[in-house]
A and B are shown apart, each in its own frame.
Chain A
Amino acid sequence: MKIVVNTFSSVKTLCGFSEKEFNLNGKSSVGDVLNALFKEYNTLIKLKNKLLFAVNEEYCDESKILQDGDQLSIFPPVSGG
């Protein structure tokens, strides 16, 4: 199945992309995708315990199981206002 990963702020800087399509084999969680990203973009590990996640624009945690066509957004703690 295919999902799209969106990144923002410092995550976008560390990964070098703002949007990228990923092919997943079988049942995968947000955490599985994150671990794959840590292997490919190892400087991202420094944000490991700070990252926030949203699937289809709803906040979730790493255990969320992904579905075909999902949009997974990964970003650091927010700082608006």
Chain B
Amino acid sequence: MKKILLQKEQIDIEKAINEVGTEEDGAVVFFIGRPRKDSSICEVKYIEYEAFHSMAVKEIEKIINDAFQKWPITDCIVIHRFGRVELREASIIIAVSSHHREEAFSSVKYIIDTIKKTVPIWKTEFYFDGTSRVYDRS
């Protein structure tokens, strides 16, 4: 099972956890990405994500397909927020199931690392002092 969602609403983490894995799977690895309060500029109050929706879904699909080629995993869910994300809320969740833990750990790391490099989504940090900055990883 492969599932990709880009959504404005908060992510239902428990629901996502319960969606992945079969009775044959001994591992479900779950990654939750959240906004960080500290930045190089100022304390972050919240983050806004902008997405090129249709291309972002295609790119995430490519990454998931690559993960299925590289490792014997059974299910994969990726949910990414857009719009305003508060501190302590999940901006992204990745859940992968597999028979054994190594492939689930490896694929989740591959998926989040690659999403951060190739998926057309951008964040703007909004600070407690009222200013904001488009985050530039380059």
A-side contacts of B116, CB under 8 Å:
78-81
Check if A78 sits within 8 Å of B136, measured CB to CB.
no
Selecting from B10-18, B37-45, B46-54, the interface stretch reads: B46-54
B-side contacts of A57, CB under 8 Å:
52, 54-55, 58
Check if B122 sits within 8 Å of A76, measured CB to CB.
yes
Number of B residues near A (Cβ < 8 Å) is 28
Number of A residues near B (Cβ < 8 Å) is 18
Known contacts A8-B50, A76-B138, A81 near B33 by CB under 8 Å: yes
Whether B119 is near chain A, meaning CB under 8 Å from some CB there, is: yes
A-B contact pairs, 28 of them (CB 8 A): A8-B52, A8-B120, A8-B122, A50-B136, A57-B55, A57-B58, A59-B118, A73-B120, A75-B122, A76-B122, A76-B134, A77-B136, A77-B138, A78-B116, A78-B117, A78-B118, A78-B119, A78-B120, A78-B121, A78-B122, A79-B122, A79-B137, A80-B51, A80-B115, A80-B121, A81-B80, A81-B91, A81-B112
Interface residues of B (CB under 8 A from A): 33, 49-52, 54-56, 58, 80, 91-92, 112, 115-124, 134-138
